[in-house]
Amino acid sequence: MGSTSIPCLWITFCIHLCCFMDTGKAQNAKEVILLDSKAQQTELEWISYPPSGWEEISGLDENYTPIRTYQVCQVMEPNQNNWLRTSWIEKGDAQRIFVELKFTLRDCNSLPGVVGTCKETFNLYYQETDSEVGRNIRENQYVKIDTIAADESFTQGDLGERKMKLNTEVRIIGPLSRRGFYLAFQDVGACIALVSVKVYYKKCWSIIENLATFPDTVTGSEFSSLVEVEGMCVSDAEEEADNSPKMHCSAEGEWLVPIGKCICKAGFHQKGDACEPCGRGFYKSSSQDLQCSRCPAHSYNDREGSWRCDCEDGYYRGLSDPPSVACTRPPSAPQNLVYNINQTTVSLEWSPPADTGGRNDVTYRIMCRRCSWEPEECVPCGGNVGYSPQQAGLVDTYVSVVDLLAHANYTFEVEAVNGVSDLSRTQRLFAAVSIATSQATPSQVSEVIKERVQQRSIQLSWQEPEQPNGVITEYEIKYYEKDQKDRIYSTVKSRSTSATVNNLKPSTAYVFQIRAFTAAGYGTYGPRLEVTTKEEASATIVSSEQNPVIIIAVVAVAGTIILVFMVFGFIIGRRHCGYSKADQEGDEELYFQCTKTYIDPETYEDPNRAVHQFAKELDASCIKIERVIGAGEFGEVCSGRMKLPGKRDMSVAIKTLKVGYSEKQRRDFLCEASIMGQFDHPNVVHLEGVVTRGKPVMIVIEYMENGSLDAFLRKHDGQFTVIQLVGMLRGIAAGMRYLSDMGYVHRDLAARNVLVNSNLVCKVSDFGLSRVIDDDPEAVYTTTGGKIPVRWTAMEAIQYRKFTSASDVWSYGIVMWEVMSYGERPYWDMSNQDVIKAIEEGYRLPAPMDCPPGLHQLMLDCWQKDRADRPKFDQIVGILDKMIRNPNTLKTPVGTCTRPISPLLDQSTPDFTTFRSVGEWLEAIKMERYRDNFTAAGYSSLDSVARMSIEDVMSLGISLVGHQKKIMSSIQTMRAQMLHLHGTGIQV
Ligand code: AMP
């Protein structure tokens, strides 16, 4: 066969090889090469069969790099079948294989004498195997890929020389299923030079797109297939929600159709194809944000990659605050808190805080605490108190607090809060006020029960109102005939929670309503209760209204009963009984009054009998002494607890008789109990009992938490409203009315002998027989022989020991003055002698500061020289009740004179308008020691003095409160007199 080849052709072919070589296109980065004949420097050693066919020949490429080629040119002989088989090619991941052939092929026309045998094509085959097979070529095991023809062949050059053109053909095989394959070239009589064979497959190379990494991906097996590939987020990036990154690898090894993406996590931002941490002082709160932002106001961070910044000390981020807003702090306290009290309702109003803490969600909350009169003892108000519109979360700067207790001391704190208040550990800032509620009338009597219904009478009982707001001294039962056109009301009064209404018509429907009365006045009527009296008894019984015999009999029986009652009462505690008619607010009332009379224990031969007549003997084991609270004449006064069988444990005051007492001392000591035990009134201190059968001997009294009134007032100087003070006075007057009604003359009524309980209820106390003589440090011996508390005592009692209820009224007037001046000493530091002299000369105490004129007038009335001209306690209670009901009458014009000009009482009051100098005036009021103070401050005329305010007086350096008050009272009187004289107002 070799003899039939054309060797000269090869030379030409080789010489020209460099001219037709591919000029070296850069290898496509998407291709993975499995075989490249050009790249192999050594012999290829492919299998050629028959050996005379394909021949391996070395050549040079364009860079003169040696290459290996195969040639065949058996064109002269017919029936050529020359096979060339490549080495085994492992396919790897490939599914579609590309075969690129570069070859030259001589056209038969250019070869002389080859007609008939020369061919211009060759065939390409492949065989799939899992491993290398033997060197034999079995044609039938090969699959034909294609017949390859040349596009170009040798052509004539411009200069007549022959140029060989390089043909490039690419064929694709696949999908392949075995591990590898062989390629085979079948020559059937052509003149071919196989310059290079390249076998490759295509891949999409790893890439980062949208912050996701897509790995190297082999293309699909089909020409049209796209391979979907999931991306992996680069570090510090995360997939966007519901949008995971995907791409598609095309058959051509190109990434197509990107879907979804990754985004940099919180604290990181994108730089190129990576996520970088935010720098110090910057943050990125969410992966959604594109950029890192600078830390907002009042926050910082000192590390990289932060998703938020930390708040500076004292600043906070609210729970719902995004990291992008500035850190804030709790607001300052609300400002300008003002309040208004209306009985048991307190309205509070304030201005917003100066500093809202940098937020606009400021609201307000109210803290209410009820305090005992000891300032430390405050407890939260609890759920009984109402707030309008609400207690917390207030947007507006006001609130009304309702249903407070009357006569109580409250502290309200108004706190401004914002979204970070509860996070802050700093101290709460609030505005606070302490308020004492005024007296309030009792709430409604709602539960009324008909106990007994007769033809002419109905007995009712009821529960005390839920909020008595004080001590209920009386109930008023109002009733009328239901069917009566011109509804005429009748009223009946009762001191207990039941009453029988008499003189009703039989078979008649009546409507009843009940209201309670306290020092604060009447409460509102409760709901109506309709009750019908029983039918008239049968006609055979003659009506008592018509039958004189029955009337006489009834009168006789009633008379006998009353007589028995009176006699019996005289023995065990004398009582006055009888019908009494009173008029209250136009309602005429008729009620049966029964008043006990006081019995002087001294009238008992055996004082021990008197004690046991009026006082209950207590078992000492029921009493527990806790602490000493005062010193009495006969021993210590202690507080403690008492628990009687079947009763609730209660606080008590215990007066003890010191050891080593004489029989007389014991008698005198127990005498107080014998007196006190006869009294039963809400404004008279109540005796619980005595312990005489053990030691120490004790008198057990109800416990009055706030002690004696004078000390209590001094302690709470200026803290009560006028209504509250008048409420206290009303209580004392009611207690005194009761005592005087019983025929008891106190003789030592003074604020120090009035006790105050925790509800501010005042009760008259100190009933010892010898008290005025021995017990009272205020009592002094007078020329009339006895020991008398001069400043509190009426002239006739000082002068000739005429002690009566009228002299108690005088003392009551002094108590009024003590109360209104918060425990000031009557007549200040004047000596007793001077007091007696001044009183005899007609001088009376001026109105205390801010004392309503009406009250001072009542004091002056109590100090009438002629005791018959003084009001009775009953009248005093009435006057005070009217004042309480009409608080307007208690208003004092601020800074104006409160001293009324009364011709009767004024005649003896020093006439300040007659003084010629400040010195003379100071002398008259015994304050001449301050003469220099006035001069130094430039107060040279009485006119200038009359214009002075309390602040001016204090600025003179007068530090004693008593002296300040005395001077101020005198100035007020002086001003009133000037006003009276000249009709000119003096503005202070
Ligand atoms: P007396 O011996 O009654 O003057 O009492 C002496 C002091 O004991 C009084 O000034 C009160 O401070 C106190 N005291 C007397 N009785 C009571 C009481 N019932 N409750 C509370 N303190 C009382």
Structure confidence at residue 241 (pLDDT): 87
Question: Furthest-apart CA pair in the chain: how many Å?
Answer: 184
Locate tokens 């530090």: which residue?
959
Taking only the tens place, the pLDDT of each residue in 687-698 is 999 999 888 899
* Listed range (23-37, 184-198, 385-399, 630-644) with the worst mean pLDDT: 23-37
> What is the rounded average pLDDT of the residues 174-181?
91
Which DSSP category does 544 fall into?
T
Q: Is 655 helix (H, G, I), strand (E, B) or coil?
A: strand
Structure confidence at residue 782 (pLDDT): 61
The percent of residues above 90 in pLDDT, for the chain, comes to 46
Q: How far is CA 322 from the centre of its chain?
A: 24
Taking only the tens place, the pLDDT of each residue in 357-409 is 999 999 999 999 988 765 568 889 988 899 999 999 999 999 999 988 877 88
* Listed range (99-113, 759-773, 826-840, 861-875) with the worst mean pLDDT: 759-773
Q: Is 236 a catalytic residue?
A: no
Q: How far is CA 123 from CA 139, 150, 241, 961, in A?
A: 12, 12, 56, 133
Distance CA 198, CA 101 (A): 7
pLDDT range class, residue 786, cuts 50, 70, 90 = low
pLDDT range class, residue 988, cuts 50, 70, 90 = very low
* Listed range (15-19, 892-896, 950-954) with the worst mean pLDDT: 15-19
Distance CA 145, CA 147 (A): 7
Query: Which of 755, 756, 757, 778 most suits a substitution to test ligand 1, by most atoms within 8 Å of the C-beta?
Result: 755
Structure confidence at residue 454 (pLDDT): 92
pLDDT range class, residue 269, cuts 50, 70, 90 = very high
Centre of ligand 1 from the C-alpha of residue 684, in Å: 13
pLDDT range class, residue 582, cuts 50, 70, 90 = very low
Q: Which residues line ligand 1 (CB under 6 A)?
A: 629-630, 632, 637, 653, 685, 701-704, 707-708, 755, 765-766
Q: How far is CA 238 from CA 228, 286, 287, 448, 957, in A?
A: 20, 11, 8, 77, 80
Supply the residue whose CA is at minimum distance from atom 17 of ligand 1: 653
Q: Write down the mean pLDDT value for the chain.
A: 82
Distance CA 822, CA 833 (A): 24
Supply the residue whose CA is at minimum distance from atom 7 of ligand 1: 630
DSSP codes of every residue in 949-980: -HHHHHHTT---HHHHHHHHHHHHHHHHHHHH
Q: Say if CB 462 and CB 445 are below 8 A apart.
A: yes
Q: Which residues of 62-88 are buried (b: 16+ CB within 10 A; e: fewer)?
A: eeeeebbbbbbbbbbeeebebbbbbeb
Distance CA 854, CA 304 (A): 80
Structure confidence at residue 374 (pLDDT): 59
User: Is residue 785 left, alpha or beta, with left meaning phi > 0 and alpha meaning psi from -120 to 50?
Assistant: left
Centre of ligand 1 from the C-alpha of residue 752, in Å: 9
pLDDT range class, residue 557, cuts 50, 70, 90 = very low
Q: Is a pLDDT exceeding 80 seen at residue 605?
A: no
Distance CA 313, CA 298 (A): 9
Which DSSP category does 772 fall into?
I
The 10 Å Cβ neighbour count of residue 559 is 10
Centre of ligand 1 from the C-alpha of residue 626, in Å: 15
Which DSSP category does 240 fall into?
B
> What is the rounded average pLDDT of the residues 464-489?
83
Q: How far is CA 600 from CA 597, 672, 763, in A?
A: 10, 11, 21
| Token pair belonging to 120 | 């211009």
> What is the rounded average pLDDT of the residues 340-357?
87
Closest CA to 568 of 549, 607, 596: 596
Centre of ligand 1 from the C-alpha of residue 888, in Å: 36
Centre of ligand 1 from the C-alpha of residue 431, in Å: 38
Q: Is a pLDDT exceeding 70 seen at residue 981?
A: no
Taking only Cα atoms into account, the Rg of the chain, rounded to an integer number of angstroms, comes to 60
Q: What is the number of the ligand 1 atom nearest to the C-alpha of 768?
A: 3
Supply the residue whose CA is at minimum distance from atom 23 of ligand 1: 707
Q: How far is CA 938 from the centre of its chain?
A: 54
Taking only the tens place, the pLDDT of each residue in 487-537 is 778 888 888 888 999 889 899 999 999 999 877 778 888 999 999 999 876
Supply the residue whose CA is at minimum distance from atom 10 of ligand 1: 708
> What is the rounded average pLDDT of the residues 779-803?
81
Structure confidence at residue 13 (pLDDT): 44
Distance CA 15, CA 596 (A): 158
Q: Say if CB 461 and CB 446 are below 8 A apart.
A: no
**β-pair partners for 35:** 199
Distance CA 291, CA 273 (A): 15
**β-pair partners for 17:** none
**β-pair partners for 99:** 171, 199
Taking only the tens place, the pLDDT of each residue in 804-825 is 999 999 999 999 999 999 999 9
Structure confidence at residue 977 (pLDDT): 66
* Listed range (471-475, 716-720, 861-865) with the worst mean pLDDT: 471-475
Distance CA 48, CA 83 (A): 6
Q: 187, 236, 321, 748: which one is catalytic?
A: 748
Q: Is a pLDDT exceeding 80 seen at residue 419?
A: yes
Amino acid at 189: G
Q: Say if CB 519 and CB 884 are below 8 A apart.
A: yes
Q: Is a pLDDT exceeding 90 seen at residue 222?
A: no
Q: Say if CB 204 and CB 258 are below 8 A apart.
A: no
The percent of residues above 70 in pLDDT, for the chain, comes to 84
Q: What is the number of the ligand 1 atom nearest to the C-alpha of 632?
A: 2
Q: Is a pLDDT exceeding 50 seen at residue 644?
A: yes
Query: Which of 637, 651, 709 most suits a substitution to test ligand 1, by most atoms within 8 Å of the C-beta?
Result: 637
Q: Which residue has the higher pLDDT, 420 or 483?
A: 420
Supply the residue whose CA is at minimum distance from atom 1 of ligand 1: 632
Residues annotated in a binding site for ATP: 655
Backbone angles phi, psi at 525, to 5 degrees: -65, 145
Give burial (CB, 10 Å; 0-12/13-18/19+) of 872: middle
Q: How far is CA 734 from CA 724, 763, 856, in A?
A: 15, 9, 19
Q: Is 573 helix (H, G, I), strand (E, B) or coil?
A: helix
Give burial (CB, 10 Å; 0-12/13-18/19+) of 965: buried
The 10 Å Cβ neighbour count of residue 171 is 15
Taking only the tens place, the pLDDT of each residue in 649-677 is 899 999 999 888 888 888 888 999 999 99
pLDDT range class, residue 28, cuts 50, 70, 90 = very low
Backbone angles phi, psi at 833, to 5 degrees: -60, -45
